[in-house]
C-alpha cells in the first residue's frame, strides 16, 4: 500500500497583498473596426411567450490586431515622345521624356520609407542588420548586410545639412543638457570611444519654438575639446554632470539633480548598517522634488515654471547646506 502526502496550495503571505494585473490600455487614436455579433431572427424570439424581443443595450470588448508590414514595388514609368514629322523629313529628331523623380540614393532600389525602416530598426529598436537580412530573406528578398550598411552611410552623408541646421537651432535655446557614454567601436584605434549627446526639451515657454532637439556627437575621446567645439559661442545654461571639461565652455554650467542623487546614494551605502545620516535627509528632499515633477507631468510650460518657483525653489533653498 502506498501513501501520498497531499500538498495544500501555498497561501499568500498576509504582508504581501495580491497585485492586481491591469489590462493593457488601447490608445483611443487607433482606427476601430466594428464587428457586430448578433442573434439570428429565430433567436430574437422570446422562448416564453413567442413575442419578438427588443434590443436593450449591448456589450463591447476590444482586441488589438496587428497588420504586418507590407512591401511593394514602385515602378516608375516615363513615356518618351518624338516628333513624327521630323522623322518623316529625316531631320534631327527631338526626343522628350519627363525627368526622373528625385531620390535620396540615385541608382538604388531603396525608397525613403525602406531606408527609414532600416535605420529606425537598427538605431532605435536595436535590430542588427544581420537580423534584418534574415527578415528580408524570409520574404524572398536578397538584401545583404553590406548593402544596408552602405545605404546607412550614404544617408548619414546626405543628412549632414539637416544635422547642421538642428545644431544651429540648438545653440539658440536658453537651456541645453549634455552627457556622454563610452562605446566600443570595431577597428577603432582606442578601445573605448565616446558618444556625446546634447539636447533641449520641447516644453520651452517661448512661443513658436520647434519641439525638442537631441543630437549625438561621436568622438574618440572625452577630452574637453569635445564639448568646447560643439558648444562654441553658446552662452546659455548647460545642465550636465560634474565633468570639469564643461567649465571650459562659454556656457553657464548648472548642476544635474539626477547626478547629485547618485552621489547621495553612494554615501548612504557607505553608512554603517542601520544608521541614518545626512545622505538620507538629502534623498528625502530629492524625493519630494521628484514627486512635484511627477504631478506636473504633461502640464503647460508656463504652469510648470510657476509651480517650480512656488513649490520646488523653497525646498532647494532650505537645503543649500547639502
Q: What is the DSSP string of 120-145?
A: HHHHTS---HHHHHHHHHHTT----H
Grade residue 275 by pLDDT with cuts at 50, 70 and 90.
confident
**Stated pTM of the model:** 0.75
Closest CA to 183 of 173, 195, 172: 195
Question: CB count, 10 Å around CB of 286?
Answer: 20
Q: Are 279 and 262 in contact (CB under 8 A)?
A: no
> What does the block give as the cell for 222?
572625452
d(CA 41, CA 204): 61
Q: Which residue has the higher pLDDT, 15 or 240?
A: 240
Grade residue 4 by pLDDT with cuts at 50, 70 and 90.
very low
d(CA 159, CA 156): 5
Looking at the predicted structure, is the pLDDT value of residue 226 above 90? yes
Looking at the predicted structure, is the pLDDT value of residue 1 above 50? no
Which residues have C-beta within 8 Å of that of residue 76, sequence separation ≥ 6? 100, 101
> What does the block give as the cell for 284?
528625502
Predicted pLDDT at 10: 45
Percentage of the chain modeled with pLDDT above 90 = 58
Predicted pLDDT at 189: 63
Buried b (16+ CB within 10 A) or exposed e, 155-181: beeeeeeeeeeeeeebbebeebbbbbe
Predicted pLDDT at 45: 92
Mean pLDDT of 222-233: 94
For the chain, domain boundaries: 108-158, 160-255, 256-322
Looking at the predicted structure, is the pLDDT value of residue 86 above 90? no
Mean pLDDT of 166-171: 95
Amino acid at each position: 500500500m502506498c501513501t501520498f502526502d497531499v500538498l495544500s496550495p501555498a497561501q499568500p503571505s498576509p504582508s504581501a497583498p495580491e497585485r492586481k494585473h491591469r489590462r493593457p490600455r488601447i490608445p483611443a487614436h487607433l482606427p476601430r473596426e466594428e464587428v457586430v455579433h448578433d442573434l439570428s431572427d429565430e433567436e430574437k424570439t422570446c422562448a416564453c411567450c413567442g413575442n419578438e424581443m427588443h434590443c436593450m443595450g449591448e456589450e463591447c470588448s476590444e482586441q488589438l490586431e496587428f497588420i504586418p508590414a507590407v512591401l511593394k514595388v514602385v515602378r516608375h514609368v516615363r513615356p518618351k515622345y518624338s516628333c513624327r514629322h521630323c522623322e518623316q523629313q529625316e531631320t534631327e529628331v527631338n526626343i522628350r521624356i519627363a525627368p526622373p523623380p528625385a531620390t535620396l540614393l540615385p541608382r538604388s532600389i531603396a525608397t525613403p520609407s525602406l531606408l527609414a525602416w532600416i535605420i529606425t530598426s537598427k538605431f532605435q529598436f536595436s535590430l542588427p542588420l544581420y537580423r534584418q537580412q534574415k527578415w528580408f530573406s524570409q520574404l524572398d528578398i536578397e538584401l545583404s548586410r553590406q548593402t544596408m550598411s552602405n545605404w546607412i552611410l550614404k544617408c548619414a552623408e546626405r543628412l549632414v545639412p539637416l544635422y547642421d541646421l538642428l545644431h544651429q537651432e540648438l545653440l539658440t535655446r536658453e537651456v541645453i543638457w549634455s552627457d556622454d557614454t563610452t562605446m566600443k567601436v570595431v577597428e577603432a584605434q582606442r578601445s573605448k570611444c565616446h558618444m556625446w549627446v546634447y539636447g533641449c526639451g520641447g516644453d520651452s515657454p517661448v512661443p513658436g519654438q520647434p519641439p525638442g532637439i537631441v543630437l549625438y556627437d561621436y568622438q574618440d575621446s572625452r577630452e574637453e575639446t569635445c564639448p568646447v567645439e560643439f558648444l562654441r559661442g553658446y552662452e546659455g545654461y548647460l545642465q550636465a554632470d560634474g565633468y570639469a571639461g564643461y567649465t571650459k565652455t562659454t556656457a553657464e554650467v548648472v548642476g544635474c539633480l539626477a547626478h547629485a542623487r547618485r552621489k547621495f546614494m553612494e554615501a548612504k551605502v557607505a553608512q554603517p548598517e542601520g544608521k541614518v545620516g545626512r545622505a538620507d535627509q538629502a534623498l528625502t528632499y530629492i524625493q519630494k522634488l521628484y514627486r512635484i515633477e511627477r504631478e506636473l507631468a504633461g502640464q503647460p510650460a508656463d504652469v510648470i515654471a510657476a509651480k517650480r518657483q512656488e513649490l520646488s525653489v523653497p525646498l532647494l533653498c532650505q537645503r543649500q547646506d547639502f
